C-alpha cells in the first residue's frame, strides 16, 4: 500500500511512543503526572484506542527527550495521518477490542484466520450475516442490524483491494452448520468457492476426521504488516464475547505456529470444486464432507 492507512499509522505511532517511554525509563504514571494527564489517557493512546493531537504530541516527545528534528517530524506526520480511524463511527456497536481488530484487519498485509464454529465475518454473505446476528440478538433493532451488516460488507473490501495475502482455515463445523437454512448455506458455500479462486485468497477445510487439534480452543486471527517496525498482532474471541488483542511476540509466535499446524492438517486441493459440490449436496441434504472427498470423481464435481 503506497499510502499507509490511518489505522496502520496509529499502530506505528503507538509502538514508537511505547518504545520512547521505555527508553526514557518512565512509567505511564510518571508520564501522566508530567503531562498533567489522567493515566487512562496515556494508556488509551499507547493501546491505539485513541489518537493523539499534534499539540499533545510535541510536549510528550519533549518529555521523552526526543530532540532529533527528523524523528519528531516523522512522528508528527503519523499523528496527523492517524486521526481518522476506520469503523470509528461504530463505537456504539462494538467493544474497543473489536474496533482494534477491525483496524488490524484493514491494515495488515497478511491475515490468517482460523474459524472454529462460524464463517469469518469477512467471508459472510449478507444473508448469512443477517441470520447470525438475529440468532445472537433476538430483539435487535432494524437500525442496529443494518449497521452491523454494513460493517460485515465493508470488511470484505480487503478481499478485492489487492496487495495482501489472506489465509483461512475453516473447521468442517463451519460448513456443516445450517445457518439461515439450506438455501442460505448453499449460497454461502458458492460464495466461498468463488473467493477461493481469487489471487491472494487461500481457503482450507479442517475435516472432523482429524479429531482433537490445536485449534479446538477457539477461533483466532493473526496479522502481519508491511512496515518492518510493526509487530505481528493477535486477536482472540471466546463464546462469551470476551476479546483479547496483543502484539506480545511470545503469543503471536505461538499462534502463528498453531495456524501452520492447522494448515498441515487441512484439506487444500481443488477447493473451489469441492466447495461447489458441497453446496449442491447441502441443498440436497447429503452434505457429508468426508464422503464427498472420498467418493467424488472429476465427473461428479460440478464445475459451475
Provide the residue ranges of all domains of the chain, joining segments of one domain with +. Answer: 6-81, 90-295
Q: Please count the CA atoms within 13 angstroms of the CA of 99 that sit on its side-chain side.
A: 18
The per-residue pLDDT for range 20-30, each reduced to its tens digit, is 999 999 999 99
Host H or E run for residue 303: none
Indicate if the pLDDT at residue 46 is higher than 90: no
pLDDT of residue 263: 96
List Cβ neighbours of 132 (8 Å cut-off, separation of 6 or more): 118, 119, 124, 179
What is the overall mean pLDDT for the chain? 86
pLDDT of residue 49: 73
The per-residue pLDDT for range 117-159, each reduced to its tens digit, is 999 999 999 999 999 999 988 889 999 999 999 999 999 988 8
Cα→Cα distances 93→81, 145, 152, Å? 24, 10, 13
pLDDT: which is higher, 89 or 64:
64
The per-residue pLDDT for range 222-252, each reduced to its tens digit, is 999 887 768 899 999 876 666 888 888 999 9
CATH 1.10.3470 fits 90-295, yes or no: no
The per-residue pLDDT for range 252-270, each reduced to its tens digit, is 999 999 999 999 999 988 8
Binned at pLDDT 50, 70 and 90, residue 304 comes out as very low
Indicate if the pLDDT at residue 291 is higher than 70: no
Angle subtended by helix axes 126-136 and 182-196, to nearest 10: 130
- Homologous superfamily (CATH) of 6-81 is lambda repressor-like DNA-binding domains (1.10.260.40)
Amino acid at each position: 500500500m503506497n499510502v499507509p492507512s490511518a489505522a496502520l499509522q496509529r499502530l506505528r505511532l503507538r509502538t514508537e511512543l511505547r518504545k520512547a517511554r521505555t527508553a526514557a525509563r518512565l512509567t505511564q504514571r510518571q508520564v501522566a503526572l508530567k503531562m498533567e494527564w489522567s493515566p487512562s489517557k496515556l494508556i488509551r493512546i499507547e493501546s491505539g484506542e485513541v489518537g493523539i493531537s499534534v499539540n499533545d504530541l510535541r510536549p510528550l516527545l519533549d518529555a521523552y527527550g526526543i530532540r532529533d528534528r527528523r524523528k519528531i517530524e516523522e512522528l508528527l506526520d503519523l499523528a496527523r495521518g492517524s486521526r481518522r480511524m476506520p469503523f470509528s463511527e461504530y463505537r456504539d456497536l462494538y467493544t474497543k477490542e473489536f474496533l482494534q481488530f477491525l483496524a488490524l484487519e484493514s491494515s495488515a498485509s497478511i491475515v490468517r484466520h482460523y474459524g472454529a464454529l462460524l464463517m469469518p465475518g469477512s467471508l459472510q454473505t449478507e444473508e448469512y450475516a443477517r441470520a447470525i446476528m438475529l440468532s445472537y440478538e433476538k430483539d435487535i433493532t432494524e437500525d442496529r442490524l443494518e449497521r452491523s451488516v454494513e460493517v460485515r460488507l465493508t470488511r470484505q473490501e480487503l478481499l478485492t483491494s489487492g496487495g495482501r495475502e489472506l489465509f483461512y482455515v475453516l473447521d468442517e463445523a463451519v460448513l456443516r452448520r445450517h445457518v439461515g437454512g439450506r438455501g442460505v448455506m448453499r449460497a454461502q458455500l458458492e460464495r466461498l468457492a468463488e473467493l477461493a479462486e481469487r489471487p491472494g485468497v487461500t481457503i482450507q477445510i479442517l475435516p472432523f476426521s482429524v479429531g482433537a487439534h490445536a485449534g479446538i480452543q477457539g477461533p483466532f486471527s493473526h496479522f502481519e504488516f508491511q512496515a518492518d517496525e510493526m509487530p505481528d498482532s493477535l486477536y482472540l474471541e471466546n463464546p462469551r464475547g470476551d476479546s483479547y488483542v496483543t502484539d506480545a511476540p511470545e503469543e503471536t509466535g505461538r499462534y502463528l505456529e498453531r495456524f501452520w499446524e492447522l494448515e498441515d492438517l487441512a484439506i487444500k486441493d481443488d477447493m473451489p470444486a469441492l466447495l461447489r459440490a458441497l453446496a449442491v449436496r447441502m441443498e440436497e441434504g447429503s452434505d457429508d464432507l468426508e464422503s464427498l472427498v472420498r467418493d467424488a470423481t472429476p465427473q461428479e464435481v460440478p464445475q459451475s
